[in-house]
Structure 1
Amino acid sequence: MKKSILSTLVLAGIVSAPAMATNVETFMGGGVGYQLDNFKDAAKMHSEDASYQIRGGVIVDNHHRLMATYGYKKDKFNMVEPGEETIKAKHKQDLFLVSYDYLVPVTSNINLFAGASMGAAHNKLTAKTSEASGKDSSTDFVWGGQLGAMVQLTDNISSDLTYRYLDQNYKIDGVRLKGTEQVVWSVDYKF
């Protein structure tokens, strides 16, 4: 009995030693970019405008990045349905994402990365016609992936250029938001 307890403790110590020696860096940052939302079904249209993000997370052993991101986008555009009048619309989106990226070093200060994201998107579509106006919003699950490059500018400051695609399930009155594409430039500060 004592030997099994002792061997279990020794094994636990051997297994956990590398985990305790892990190099973890914390970061916070923000970004700005371009976002394109593809609507399908009854109204074939695209909503595009600037996207803003704040984010924070950790980099583990210089190869694994875990991150939480809040993104915001607002756009005004015209919806045109076949045989119908032009409808003025507004689209507002709040994104709440968690992401994982695998970092691949290219040089001492440049990393390429690829990863996956998932979370929730709160979409609000407001449409005005000659007869009435309506607002429809919902919060739906989103998931997708991203790839890009990270450049270490100083010991504490890095910059990313990221392309991300997110699959969405927002649907109202025959209008469906199929997916979101983003190109974002961000700057992070490591603690």
Structure 2
Amino acid sequence: MKKLAMISTLTLAAVAATPAFAVSTDWFVGAGVGYQEDSIKGANDQNGEDVAVQLRGGAILNDHHRLMGTYSYMDKSEQNMFLASYDYLMPVAQKVNLFAGVSAGVADSEIGNESSTDFVWGGQVGAMYQINDQWSTDLTYRYLEQDYEEHQTKLENSQQLMWSVDYKF
């Protein structure tokens, strides 16, 4: 687990250093909505399914590298999640890209009146459709490991299926 976290951090740091060499950079902001399922085991075992919303922003470098910061919220676990992500974009048609990447960050969750802020990490895959020069939309599946463990309750992982719309400026 620590090995993957170190690799993810080094990858994000290396890609973050590349804007100085970038020929083209497209900045964007966006929002999304979707479904999140948390795997919660132990004393406060519960159905961890709920709607999640997110705000995001970042940059697309040289049409193939996307760096993004994401804030998401899920009401059921009162979960606030802050993630930094890197995606590699693979064009498959004129307006369609498939992508795969890594994410790392923190999640503040409250389960059974016990709150904890913990490290989260994982990866995502999806598809992006470029509507026009300014607007794009994507569908993302993300899997995140979580370190939440409080009073015999463990939040093992989260899975998200999100639809988002972004505006490039």
Into which bin does the TM-score normalised by the smaller protein fall?
A: 0.7 to 0.9
Partner of 1:96: 82
Paired residue for 1:112, among 85, 98, 108? 98
Partner of 1:177: 155
Partner of 1:188: 166
Partners of 1:157 and 1:183 in 2: how far apart? Answer: 20
1:106 match: secondary structure: strand
User: Which consecutive unaligned segments of at least 5 residues does structure 1 have?
Assistant: 1-18, 76-90, 127-134
Deviation digits for residues 44-94 of structure 1 (CA, Å, limit 9, x no counterpart): 44311100000000000000000000000012xxxxxxxxxxxxxxx2100
Match runs of 1:18-167 below 5 Å: 20=21, 22-42=23-43, 44-75=45-76, 91-126=77-112, 135-167=113-145
Partners of 2:22 and 2:33 in 1: how far apart? Answer: 35
Per the normalisation by structure 2, the TM-score is 0.85
Partners of 1:33 and 1:93 in 2: how far apart? Answer: 14
Query: Which has the higher mean CA deviation after the structures are superposed, 138-147 or 42-51?
Result: 42-51
User: Which consecutive unaligned segments of at least 5 residues does structure 2 have?
Assistant: 1-19
Whether the 8 Å CA contact 2:116–2:150 is kept in 1: the answer is: no
Root-mean-square deviation (CA), in Å? 1.5
Partners of 1:170 and 1:21 in 2: how far apart? Answer: 38
Instruction: Count matched residues.
Output: 151
Name the amino acid aligned to 2:93.
T
Per the normalisation by structure 1, the TM-score is 0.76
Partner of 2:9: none
Question: Sequence identity of aligned pairs in percent?
Answer: 53
